[in-house]
């Protein structure tokens, strides 16, 4: 790229970033509130100004070139700085009001965070919380969320990171499944049983490849990208499933198998962009999550079936 002041034009960078994040030109234009032909013209002029082709254009749409990928990191830094400045100048970063978006893994977000967030919202009626419990990583650099709860600690990026909690997974089945299939006394016995698990080529983290270490030769009877679907299938007696204790304990239909022999420990990490971590509403939710999760360690480690709710916790 050639050196030029046009590279620092926030409005051009904003259009560039939206085009990289959208499914196509029309969607980007809709989100930006301008005509799609305007987006196309502005990107061509922007490419001329920076002296590099940022996109490959074909029938499938816009695909980033190597130069385009290089620009993303710098553009996202500018975006974060602009938003942080806007918050500071408007005074919103000091007020307990506005919107906070929280991304989390599907099971943890749905079965653990959601009930606690109801209490947080009651205590902070001027803060709107958007919870995104999805079977993938939420992209904080693309501003999909303000805070992320993830099963991997970020290895790069300008983030504030802290360990939220450890949690335990065990092998579960229904009593009826166990009664109607070959006995399971050792880990070696698992190879003759049907397993429920993730779709191998769609696993979003290596931390989720439990079965490969526990029973690599066992038949995969049912697969899903959703841990909640796996939980539901296990409850119906379709096979064995490795599930987080906090999820499996929601049901009386599931019992641990080889308890103490198949125990898998993982961790949740709390992550936020450095520029937004100290915005008041983000900081309030960050602090609250740490407060309500800490007393629930026994529940998350499978040592208790009772979750402690936030009405017993000092408000954030």
Q: Mean per-residue pLDDT for 46-50?
A: 86
Q: What is the 3-state secondary structure (H, E, C) of 34-89?
A: CCHHHHHHHHHHHHHHHCCCCEEEECCEEEECHHHHHHHHHHHHHHHHHHHHHHHH
Residue 222's pLDDT band, with cuts at 50, 70 and 90, is: very high
Residue 7, pLDDT score: 44
**How confident is residue 275, by pLDDT bands cut at 50, 70 and 90?**
confident
What pLDDT score was predicted for residue 315?
A: 39
Q: Say what the pLDDT of residue 91 is.
A: 54
Asked whether residue 126 carries a pLDDT value surpassing 70, the answer given is yes
**Cα 143 from chain centre:** 12
Which residue, among 81, 73, 62, has the nearest Cα to 1 in the 3D structure?
A: 73
Task: Using pLDDT thresholds of 50, 70 and 90, give the confidence band for residue 9.
Answer: confident
Burial degree of 160 (CB within 10 A; 0-12, 13-18, 19+): middle
Task: Give pLDDT, residue 4.
Answer: 46
Each residue of 56-93: pLDDT tens digit? 888 778 888 888 888 877 777 777 667 666 655 555 55
Taking Cα atoms as reference points, which of 176, 182, 167 lies closest to residue 253?
176
Domains of the chain and any CATH numbers:
5-90 (1.10.10.10), 97-316 (3.40.190.290)
Q: What does the pLDDT look like over 131-142, one tens digit per residue?
A: 999 988 888 877
Consecutive H or E run containing 256: strand 255-257
């Amino acid at each position: 790229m050639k050196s030029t002041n046009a590279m620092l034009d926030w409005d051009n960078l904003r259009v560039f970033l939206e085009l990289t994040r959208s499914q196509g030109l029309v969607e980007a234009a809709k989100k930006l509130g301008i005509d799609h032909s305007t987006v196309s013209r502005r990107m061509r002029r922007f490419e001329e100004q920076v002296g590099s082709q940022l996109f490959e254009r074909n029938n499938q749409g816009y695909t980033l070139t190597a130069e385009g990928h290089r620009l993303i990191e710098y553009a996202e830094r500018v975006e974060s700085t602009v938003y942080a400045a806007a918050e500071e100048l408007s005074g919103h970063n000091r007020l307990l009001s506005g919107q906070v978006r929280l991304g989390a893994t599907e099971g943890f977000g749905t079965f653990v965070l959601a009930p606690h967030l109801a209490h947080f919202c009651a205590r902070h009626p001027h803060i709107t919380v958007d919870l995104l419990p999805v079977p993938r990583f939420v992209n904080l650099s693309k501003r999909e969320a303000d805070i992320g709860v993830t099963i991997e600690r970020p290895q790069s990026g300008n983030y504030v990171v802290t360990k939220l909690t450890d949690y335990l997974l065990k092998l579960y089945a229904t009593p009826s499944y166990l009664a109607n299939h070959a006995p399971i006394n050792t880990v070696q016995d698992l190879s003759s049983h049907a397993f429920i698990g993730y779709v191998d080529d769609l696993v979003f983290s290596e931390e989720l490849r439990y079965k490969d270490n526990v029973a690599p030769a066992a038949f995969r009877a049912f697969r899903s990208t959703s841990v909640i679907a796996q939980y539901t299938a296990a409850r119906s007696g379709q096979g064995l499933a490795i599930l987080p204790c906090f999820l499996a304990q929601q049901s009386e239909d599931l019992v641990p198998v080889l308890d103490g022999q198949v125990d898998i420990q993982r961790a949740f990490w709390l992550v936020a962009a450095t520029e937004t971590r100290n915005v008041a509403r983000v900081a309030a939710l960050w602090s609250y999550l740490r407060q309500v999760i800490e007393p629930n360690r026994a529940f998350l480690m499978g040592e208790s079936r009772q979750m402690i709710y936030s009405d017993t916790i000092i408000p954030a």
